[in-house]
Structure 1
Amino acid sequence: MPERHQTSHVDRRTFLKGSVGAVGLASAAGCLGDGGGESGPLTFGYTASLSGSSAVLGQQYHTGFQIWRDHVNDNGGILDRDVELTHYDDESSPDRARELANRLASQDGVDFLFGPYGSPTNYSASVVSQQQQIPMVSGASSDPAIFDRDLEYYYSTLSKTNEYGKSFPNFLSSVDWGAHDMEEPSTVAALRAEAAYTSTLGQSFIDNLEGAGFEIAYEEEYPLDLQDFSNIISGIRSADPDILCLSGFPADEARFAEQAQQADLNVDIHYQNYSSQTVIVDTLGEQVDYMFNGAWWDRRYDYNRVDTYVEMWNERQDAMAEMPLSYATAAGMVYENALEEAGSTNADDVNQAIAETDIETTLGRTQFHETGWNLHQYKNEAVRQWQDQEMTLLYPENFATGDVWLPTPEWGDRNSSPQ
Structure 2
Amino acid sequence: MVEPDKHSRTNRRTYLKSSLSAVALASAAGCLGGSGGGGDTLKFGYTSSLSGPTAVLGKQYHTGFQIWRDHVNENGGILNKEVELVHYDDESNPERARELANRLASQDNVDFLFGPYGSPNNYSASLVSQQNQIPMVSGASSDPEIFSRGLEYYYSTLSKTTKYGKSFPEFLASLDWGSFDMDEPSTAATLRADAAYTSTLGKALTQNLEDQGFEVAYEQEYPTDQNDFSSILSELSNADPDVLCVCGFPADEARFAEQAQQAGLNVDIHYQNYSSQTVIVDTLGDQVNYMMNGAWWDRRYDYNRVDTYVEMWNQRKDSVAEMPLSYATAAGMVFEKAIEEASSTNADDVNQALKSLDIETPLGRTQFHETGWNRHQYKNEAVRQWQNQEMTLLYPEKFATGDVWLPTPNWGNRDSSPE
* Residue 88 in structure 1 maps to residue 96 in structure 2: no
Partner residue, 1:124? 124
**CA RMSD, aligned part only?**
1.3
Structure 2: which 5+ residue stretches go unaligned? Answer: 1-22
* Residue 335 in structure 1 maps to residue 360 in structure 2: no
Contact 1:31 1:347 in 2 (8 A): no
Partner residue, 1:244? 244
Paired residue type of 1:101: A
What aligned pairs does 1:21-170 form with structure 2 within 5 A after superposition? Answer: 27=31, 29=33, 32=36, 38-170=38-170
Q: CA deviation at 1:105?
A: 0.6
Query: Relative contact order: is structure 1 or structure 2 higher (C-alpha 8 Å, sep ≥ 6)?
Result: 1
Q: CA deviation at 1:318?
A: 7.3
Question: Quick one: distance in 2 between partners of 1:418 and 1:386?
Answer: 13
Partner residue, 2:256? 256
Q: CA deviation at 1:218?
A: 0.7
Q: CA deviation at 1:320?
A: 3.3
Partner residue, 1:10? none
Q: CA deviation at 1:369?
A: 0.4
Partner residue, 2:294? 294
Question: Quick one: distance in 2 between partners of 1:317 and 1:394?
Answer: 29
Q: CA deviation at 1:157?
A: 0.3
Partner residue, 1:179? 179
* Residue 198 in structure 1 maps to residue 203 in structure 2: no
Contact 2:42 2:84 in 1 (8 A): yes
Question: Quick one: distance in 2 between partners of 1:319 and 1:113?
Answer: 23
Q: CA deviation at 1:29?
A: 3.8
Partner residue, 1:269? 269
Partner secondary structure for residue 267 of structure 2: coil
Contact 1:293 1:384 in 2 (8 A): yes
Question: Quick one: distance in 2 between partners of 1:182 and 1:107?
Answer: 63
1:63-122 alpha-carbon deviations (Å, 9 max, x no partner): 000000000001110001110000000001100000000110111101100000000000
Partner secondary structure for residue 151 of structure 1: coil
Partner residue, 1:6? none
Paired residue type of 2:375: L
Q: CA deviation at 1:224?
A: 1.2
Question: Quick one: distance in 1 between partners of 2:356 and 2:319?
Answer: 35
Partner residue, 1:378? 378
CA gap of 1:415–1:227, structure 2 versus 1, over 3 A, is: same
CA gap of 1:318–1:146, structure 2 versus 1, over 3 A, is: closer
Question: Quick one: distance in 1 between partners of 2:155 and 2:31?
Answer: 18
Paired residue type of 2:98: R
Partner secondary structure for residue 227 of structure 2: coil
TM-score (norm 2): 0.92
Question: Quick one: distance in 1 between partners of 2:386 and 2:97?
Answer: 36
1:326-352 alpha-carbon deviations (Å, 9 max, x no partner): 000000000000000111111111001
TM-score (norm 1): 0.92
Paired residue type of 2:298: D
* Residue 418 in structure 1 maps to residue 410 in structure 2: no
Contact 1:142 1:158 in 2 (8 A): yes
Question: Quick one: distance in 2 between partners of 1:337 and 1:291?
Answer: 38
Ranges of 4+ aligned residues in structure 1 off by more than 3 Å: 23-32
Partner residue, 1:401? 401
Partner residue, 2:9? none
Contact 2:33 2:106 in 1 (8 A): no
Structure 1: which 5+ residue stretches go unaligned? Answer: 1-22
Partner residue, 2:360? 360
Q: CA deviation at 1:31?
A: 7.3
Identity of aligned residues (%): 78
Paired residue type of 1:215: E
Q: CA deviation at 1:39?
A: 3.2
